Amino acid sequence: MDLQHWLGRATDAVQDWAAAFGPYRPHPSLEVDDARFASAFEEFTGRLADNYPFFHPHYAGQMLKPPHPAAVVGYLTAMLINPNNHALDGGPATAAMEREVVARLAAMFGYGTHLGHLTTSGTIANLEALFVARELHPGRGVAHSADAHYTHARMCHVLGMSSHPVRTDEKGRMDLDALEDVLRTGRVGTVVVATGTTGLGAVDPVHEVLPLAARHGVRVHVDAAYGGFFTLLAGAEGPEGLPPEPWRAVARADSIVVDPHKHGLQPYGCGAVLFRDPEVGRFYLHDSPYTYFTSTELHLGEISLECSRAGASAAALWLTFRLLPPTPDGLGRVLAAGRRAALGWADLIEASDVLELYQRPQLDIVTCFPAVDPATLTGVDAASARILADGMTGPDPVFLSTFKAGREAFAARHPKVTADADAARVLRSVLMKPESEDHVRCLHDRVERLARTA
């Protein structure tokens, strides 16, 4: 699609719609002439040059990439009207779109019933899930893996709940024996599992946690903020297919968080929380004297902790899903390419004499470290930091990130590396762009060359 063409159509469409309401002119206080705008805009775009090239396949660092053009046009078109999805009074059309995309997300995970909404972020979506967890099990805390996103411990603090980190195994997944020990104390009301940790993309064994939690009368929340859309590859044919068991089990969890602004091709400002039991809506009950007056139908603000939210976010996701639906043949193909990229790079690293795989990728995140002599954590850390910094400079840059691996986690995977420090940084690449698949060889050669000089 031709982005420029459709951006023009976006402004036309909104002007046509506005014309039906009769003539009107913006106030002189808002007027800006083109010459002044040009100079401000030039300064502005100059400032924006100070960015990493998230769009480029040579950017293989963090979880960052531009949104799909369909999301850009959807967002911009709706933003020109600027609906607020807090209430049907603020955005009837985009509120309806939000309900539709949330239903699609719920169906993607196999939920038969659901209550849910979009949020500004995965952080807020997880906060809501933990808030409901607290209301259902007052006085009891939350167990999450030691590798879970830091938001869980922090939001437990915000909510006045105790948080119980659970040891991970040698693949970065929640250790079930350690979980059982924590559950036996009776102090936990909800277990948080991740289908894709932020650091390593490790997938917790949801299917094994569920029966364990049920035995202890404990709820299960799935933090799929990063990995959620990988459910589209569960049981798929080909190298990109994922073991289906944890993904199928997600349908039996009590709540799920997924971030369309990570793997759903959306701009920032789009997370989502889903509850299997619509009855939890009662915990959100409140009265709002200044909204909810145009309709007795459900207003999204009545089931959300946030008030104002961009209707444009729902519009962008709705338009994207019309074109690239959350199905194996739609968005699934985008994720499959990134997953194949990660597997392909992991194979190259395994065959390399200067790089070592930290662990096999479970999704699309590759972690490795330079082979150093003598093999110590201090040496690995220094060489990784050097490669990260050197990679970004020069005529042929490569952008990576690092992951801090603790002494025990490192020893569980690489016992021969002498643990002379508490932790070591290893190199980490999130291959979330499908274009990465054709650039893996090039990325690998570049990182190998950097490793030889580090």
In the complex, the residues that contact ligand PLP under the rule CB under 6 A are 121-123, 126, 149, 151, 194, 198, 223, 225-226, 259, 271
Q: Under the phi-then-psi rule, with left for phi > 0, alpha for psi from -120 to 50, and beta for the rest, what region is 111?
A: beta
Q: How far is the CB of 127 from ligand PLP (least distance, A)?
A: 9
Q: How far is the CB of 67 from ligand PLP (least distance, A)?
A: 14
Q: How far is the CB of 194 from ligand PLP (least distance, A)?
A: 5
| For ligand PLP, the closer CB: 225 or 343 | 225
Residue nearest to ligand PLP (CB): 122
Q: How far apart are CA 451 and CA 29, in angstroms?
A: 58
| For ligand PLP, the closer CB: 98 or 223 | 223
| For ligand PLP, the closer CB: 151 or 255 | 151
Strands in 276-330 per DSSP E: none
Q: How far is the CB of 14 from ligand PLP (least distance, A)?
A: 29
Strands in 84-243 per DSSP E: 115-119, 141-145, 163-166, 188-194, 219-224
Alpha helices in 351-454 (DSSP H): 377-391, 407-413, 440-453
Q: At what angle do helices 331-350 and 440-453 cross, to 10 degrees?
A: 30
Amino acid at 82: N
Q: How far is the CB of 226 from ligand PLP (least distance, A)?
A: 3
| For ligand PLP, the closer CB: 126 or 359 | 126
Q: How far is the CB of 234 from ligand PLP (least distance, A)?
A: 18
Residues 6+ apart with CB under 8 A from 246: 195, 203, 204, 205, 206, 207
Q: How far is the CB of 37 from ligand PLP (least distance, A)?
A: 33
Amino acid at 11: T
| For ligand PLP, the closer CB: 147 or 240 | 147
- Contact (CB, 8 A) for 176 and 182: no
Burial call 107-136: b when 16+ CB within 10 Å, e when fewer: ebbebeebbbbbbbbbbbbbbbbbbbbbee
| For ligand PLP, the closer CB: 193 or 232 | 193
What's the DSSP call for residue 116? E
| For ligand PLP, the closer CB: 121 or 384 | 121
